[in-house]
Amino acid sequence: MTSPRSESQPRPDLAPDPSLGHAEMEALQRDIAGAAVFEDEFGFDPEPLTNPLAASAATATTDTDSAADSPNASQPTVVGVDQSFLTNEAGDQDRALSAVVAMRGGEVVERVHAVTDLKTPYIPGLLSFREGGAILAALESLTVEPDLFLFDGSGRIHFRQAGIATHIGVVRDVPSIGVAKSLLCGRLQGDTDNLSAGTRVAIEADDSVDAPAGTLLGYAVQTRQYDSPNRYINPLYVSPGHRVGPETAADLVLGLAGSYKLPEPVRLADQYASEAKREFLD
């Protein structure tokens, strides 16, 4: 079921500014969280994304004469975003490379990347100020219109409810989801050891988060699992970034995971980041 378009608008005035001081960055993140919408407010049909088998069956049984008439043309455009870093001759990271992969109907429709200088050190919780410039630069060169962003990073699961998925989602006013490999903050509401595929465990705010205790921040989502008692795959930590609720965020990540742990747009963005990085190494 689709939801009505939000009344929100792009907020370029809230773009991450690496020249700000630490306290100013945190204050800006609180403004970002205040502008974010942590519930479903998007205009696309999520069914092809949350139920990809049904979407594939519909595509296979539909005759088309051109790419423009393809069933994929009406499906949402999902954009995966991942980062890599380039080092200088001294071996220090001095540039961020943002890789962006746009997919529609399970097919890649565009890939772009951008490189910008790193102007701030790595500080937990302030990732968007280190990497956001490269991300926004890459998104500027994207020619397709995104319906949904998936970031390798956090959304609402963040000390100030404003991880990189929330920050960029609000700045661009595009529905967004954070997909992290480790838990930054919050309290798990259950055990996450050796979960079966499809399982999700709620993550709620605790005293490390600038939100009322018990606020649902997102889910630990088990997208894939080994059929073995001797090893297991850890879950992903999925949270709404902007204009997507926590349940829908988990549904979308599960639907987009395909045969791998990571949702396909993020997995391909990760691969593309490595590929693009080789251009600079060569």
Instruction: Tell how far CA 211 is from the center of its chain.
Output: 21
**Residue 199 and residue 193: Cα distance in Å, rounded?**
11
Report the 10 Å Cβ neighbour count for 230.
Answer: 5
Full-model pTM: 0.91
In terms of Cα–Cα distance, which of 139, 134, 128 is closest to 184? 128
| Residue pair 221/250 in contact by the 8 Å Cβ criterion | yes
Ligand-binding site membership of 152 (annotated)? yes
Helix (H/G/I), strand (E/B), else coil: 258: coil
- DSSP β-bridge partners for residue 238: 179, 219
Q: What is the pLDDT along the chain (282 residues), one digit of tens a residue?
A: 455 555 679 999 999 999 999 999 999 999 999 999 999 999 999 999 998 655 454 444 444 444 444 556 779 999 999 999 998 888 888 899 999 999 999 999 999 999 999 999 989 999 999 999 999 999 999 999 999 999 999 999 999 999 999 999 999 999 999 999 999 999 999 999 989 999 999 999 999 999 999 999 999 999 999 887 788 899 999 999 999 999 999 999 999 998 899 999 999 999 999 999 988 876
The domain ranges of the chain are: 12-60+71-281
3-state helix, strand, coil in the chain (%, to 5): 30, 25, 45
Structure tokens at 163: 């991880």
CATH class of 12-60+71-281: alpha beta
Choose among 92, 256, 272: nearest CA to 179: 256
Is 45 annotated to bind ligand? Answer: no
**Among 10, 279, 5, 271, residue whose Cα is nearest residue 139:** 10
Kind of pairing, strands 148-152 and 176-180?
parallel
d(CA 80, CA 238): 14
